[in-house]
Structure 1
């Protein structure tokens, strides 16, 4: 026999109270006599009644659900952001639907529309870039949207980040001050604004300040993977670079291990600064110096910004920059 869905009506009938009373108990409303509350809770327990979030949403026109679009759920960087989002969501009693977009533009649009069809109250979008197609969907949708660890160069959408220009500038200057004239810049797709308009600008600003001419041959554009980093080191070495700023930790580990395998001494002969300070930086030997982003806080502040937007509260600034630092380990002198 199929298990019948227990409704609020069944609970009210069994407990011999009104449906409004059951609703008050379920929603933690204090205006219920303790004896009545106890009786209703016992019935709820016995019947295994679970309030229907969708039905509750229909009544209040809110589903109390937030959609989170993440490019790669297995990436430590995005997983750390998601933790911060989830903790604040729980605090404000929102449920999260996590969707993986595989960093694929078509799939991003599909995933976004699936979440909007589920009537989510808000969306948090993480990804290395915002495609024109996704931007058009954002504009069409009436749903509040916040970017976490994603950049909107036009600042139309609320976002939480660090100052990537300043962070990469600091990292590059650190390597130049250590005596490296030829610093390689290893990053992901330069079509992504976060790489071209922010990180690369920081790198160029540092060269400019140090009076070193910009050399196109020191820029290496690749995919974010360990094997890509491993494959790249030979080319970086061949061009005569003695240091590198790398925009992704897994990529940086590939570069580091390839250097060590080639008998290069780190940091004496080659220095590396990576960008995300995920736990990978401490799992390798030598441990890697990194720009540190408050990932958990970025997720948490992003979610808090979204709750304000969903509740139509006053917002001072939609573009929020959190502080970063550079954590010194053994991959730099």
Structure 2
């Protein structure tokens, strides 16, 4: 096995000390002749600097830490692309960890990111990790919470989120405009984004002189629970003698499961029931599924920019949702 070239080999080739090589590689002061000899030795020996050693001397690595709750959501793919593009442009490595929605694991992963002295942290974790994230920010590591707003953030703690109430309002207005009147909602639980989207749905219905009954909203925290949730909504509507003519899903990661639950029951979209969900994905156009989109790529870029060029004061950035109308709500029939 070939021996890895070391900084000592470069120093010997250039005829200088290892301290001089380190200084040149890190942009320190050196004469032009010395720098030329060092870089020539680096090139000829194909030397790769040790990022770990650099991090030790700098007191921080050059990696940008990202803690994701659930990579099954289409939202996170665009988010990661945006983060990676900014990191690459700033000579940073992206260190990604997926928590699988396990809060204890989330806390551990944020702690480990801190222990690895990442350049900064972008996190989509539960509120119960905020004390650890806040601790990192207070100790000089820029942190960005994505998908919700940080409460009373200290310097160094920022947030990038969506207008979730606006997303819910867009859902309600589109379904109403498509002539739907008996609407059920599948949401994924108590996350601020889910609560605010349902609140937006209610607001829009109220403004149109309608209401969204409590029993018209059901929670499914996992894909396995979705079939039961859809069945419950259909049964409740039938009991009220107002069969559902629309179903809204406020969590993009549950889209496939909700769509499957409807079609498995022989329900035709949109003839029997309109279907509207969050977050666009690769096969949505082929199936004609209408969606409320959030600009995940732009959100990822902005989050990473807050890490690589951190502002002095906390920043909270809110992006606007958009409707992509296809045909799953009966749009063509209403043209």
TM-score over 0.5 for the pair: yes
Does the 8 Å CA contact 1:76/1:278 hold for their aligned counterparts? Answer: yes
- The counterpart of 2:277, out of the listed 271, 274, 277, is 274
Query: Pairwise mapping of residues 189-208 of structure 1 onto structure 2 (< 5 A)?
Result: 189-190=189-190, 192-196=191-195, 198-208=196-206
The Cα RMSD (Å) is 2.7
Does the 8 Å CA contact 1:224/1:250 hold for their aligned counterparts? Answer: no
- Unaligned ranges ≥5, structure 2: 238-242, 331-335
- Structure 1 equivalent of residue 42 of structure 2: 44
- Structure 2 equivalent of residue 294 of structure 1: 295
Which whole-Å CA distance do the structure 2 matches of 1:164 and 1:54 have between them?
40
- Structure 2 equivalent of residue 263 of structure 1: 266
Which whole-Å CA distance do the structure 1 matches of 2:281 and 2:30 have between them?
48
Shift of 1:295: 0.8
- Structure 2 equivalent of residue 229 of structure 1: 226
Q: SS of the counterpart of 1:62? A: coil
- Structure 2 equivalent of residue 135 of structure 1: 130
Which whole-Å CA distance do the structure 1 matches of 2:117 and 2:60 have between them?
8
Does the 8 Å CA contact 1:66/1:94 hold for their aligned counterparts? Answer: yes
Shift of 1:115: 1.2
Give TM-score, length-normalised by structure 2.
Answer: 0.85
Shift of 1:46: 4.7
Query: Pairwise mapping of residues 1-333 of structure 1 onto structure 2 (< 5 A)?
Result: 6-17=5-16, 19=18, 22-23=21-22, 26-27=25-26, 33=32, 37=36, 40-127=38-125, 129-131=126-128, 134-141=129-136, 142=139, 143-148=141-146, 150-152=147-149, 154=151, 156=153, 157-190=157-190, 192-196=191-195, 198-225=196-223, 227-238=224-235, 239=237, 240-283=243-286, 285=287, 287-309=288-310, 313-315=311-313, 318-333=315-330
Shift of 1:19: 4.5
- Structure 1 equivalent of residue 333 of structure 2: none
Which whole-Å CA distance do the structure 2 matches of 1:155 and 1:291 have between them?
29
Q: SS of the counterpart of 2:148? A: coil
Shift of 1:11: 0.2
